Amino acid sequence: MAAYYAYLWKATWIEALGISVLVLFILGRLVWKFYIESRQEMKRSNKILLGAKSFGWLVILVIYSIMFYQSEPDWFDRPVQIQGEIVGKNAIPGVSSTSYKIQVQGSEESEDLYLDHYSYQELEIGQFVNATYLPHRQEVITCKILPLSKEDPEEPGI
């Protein structure tokens, strides 16, 4: 699980840091405002104004949290694992870089997964792998090549 969140942090650190700073700023501001206002006697209109401002800041916080959830949903899901055979391998050229994709046929499902150039070069069609990947982006976090299983054990020669 640590590798999952470390990978997410490397891929989305700007968004994660931005939402963290925003949360700390808004909550710190609200706590400070309530602390200052509670030290002095307040009129009813000032209490209503403080409540309205607090509600407004909380609405802003909720909106940004929803935006973060929609743009980076992998932070809120668990990593997915698939074990199976590589049945396809593609390099998809792009404008600025090339995407590398493998198709893994598991026992019940087939998944198209994206991975880095070095992992792509190490993998061959027909190999068995155990891959952990992001559920929404379909990016491989870890990939372990499994030894080929022998279906028919060799019989000793006479």
Q: Helix, strand, or coil here: 129? A: strand
Cα separation of 93 and 121, whole Å? 15
- pLDDT above 90 as % of the chain: 42
The closest alpha carbon to 127, from 103, 158, 99, 153, belongs to 103
Model confidence over 71-85: pLDDT tens digits?
999 999 999 999 999
The closest alpha carbon to 73, from 7, 135, 11, belongs to 135
Instruction: Report the CATH number of the 80-146 domain.
Output: 2.40.50.140
Select the more confidently predicted residue: 42 or 23.
23
- Alpha carbons within 13 angstroms on the beta-carbon side of residue 88 total 13
**Are 51 and 96 within 8 A, CB to CB?**
no
The residues pairing with 135 across neighbouring beta strands, listed in sequence order, are none
Structure confidence at residue 92 (pLDDT): 86
Q: What is the dihedral sign for C-alpha 141, 137, 81, 116?
A: negative
Model confidence over 93-142: pLDDT tens digits?
877 778 899 999 988 888 999 998 898 999 999 999 999 999 999 999 99
